[in-house]
Structure 1
């Protein structure tokens, strides 16, 4: 039997320039059923469709592996679990789909995900946007995935730029900025293309910049605080008792931190949990030293939280990226400090 050739089956996907631009990123896998079939057993999680650790799949699952079922979820968005598109295509040519972790600020592209329940008129307007680089049907067969260039006004909205997803208020569509997407590789049917091309009414949005601006403004209005609300210097300033505050925080928080497995090895969620736990214990230390007359700014708190986090969060490639002009984890620490300060202010 002739080996499967996905390039022949899905030429519009594999030959697309935008897809080829993403192909070399080591963030590709397939979506599969994670978990075990365990009807009536509440101690075992039900199966769910999720991006898999494809390297683990190819290496072969053994009885000693501590996870349910033959597949393990992708717990890292890099070469630890994932492949390039060409590697994936060669290794699993008959895969039913391909999954990719989009990082808009790194890739220069984002994905507009139009849901199956989006009103037809709204969906038509979105399909008329200028600059669409790649389009396909979603897994439901009733929605759409559109790969678009990063908007020219992307950084005009720092709160929105720091989000993983920007959702329309009704949930009809969303912009994926730092998120998984399962590509079906199924082209939009000709009948829909003809319908979209025949539309003559003025569209609600002309460009991705128009669409992004509206979602970004709404995100800004709904956010009580963001990482950009905390200004950190290029280098850590001199902070009174900084070393002992970090050490005491780690000492009391060490046995309270949750494990990545508690979050299905979603490292982003786990890291946020670690930051939140460390911040809770650190506030106790800051209040104690504050009683001595020392005043700590939100910038100080972000730096101290960042230093503590570096001691317990393993390094991964994402940490080398920069957000709001500073290291990724420092920006996440600043975002958490800003959020907790905003919550505290709203209850006082």
Structure 2
């Protein structure tokens, strides 16, 4: 197996993780920054550290990505499939980042894998795609929306007799904890997705025969996600933090707590690679709806949800085109 092809593919995988970090950094910190619970740089530094820690908490999501979505390809064409999948995902990440659209880096990767596999004649495990990707893509935002609404209702009831200004100060402090929990869940979910792809590349190159994740892969993926997170994604942060609804500290705390809970449950109980973007965005919508339904800017929300639905097909088509281009050039 061409060592250069392996190095290139792993390098592109790590760059994807970096784009994932700056694309999705808003998921972890937008609410705490918009409510002024944390300064932007302090929030980014905290998120980067927690992303790094979260990457070492488990491996179930990584194994789902490496084993449950497409047949492990072999030979030079197999490495080309992974390379094309990653390039397709990176391209979609950059496009959506430019337009400030909080789409899912995870689903861009999954779409890229499916598109490249189909273009390369590799079997797609459709049952795994539907059970582990498509169903959670629909279910997790609904849970995030409803749970966010309920959590915010509970907070409003518990603090109904409290001094509003004192309560907001308390929740601003509490948000440092909820934002850290959100960032930890982001690392737990998103670093593992790239780990799964790197393990596939190592298997194709016959560097290892098992699907265990080497320590250096965990460190490299976690570090790149953290670096990307620290670079920040200001365009998307504005969309999440202000354009959907103007958040106050109690709402920010409720949204972050809800999203983090959903991510931990999906990771540890179901090993399902869900989108942190989908969960935090829907939680913000649910929290905002407790004020009044019209408080949520549903036009912005509609555009975001539309982006969710086109992410996988768009990344799949891009990855297929990249695969055919690589095959045409290199044979």
Question: What TM-score range do you get, normalising by the shorter chain?
Answer: under 0.3
Greater relative contact order (Cα 8 A, min sep 6): structure 1 or 2?
A: 2
Larger-Rg structure = 1
TM, length-normalised to structure 1: 0.25
Higher strand content, 1 or 2: 1
**Structure that is richer in helix per residue:** 2
TM-score, normalization: structure 2?
0.26
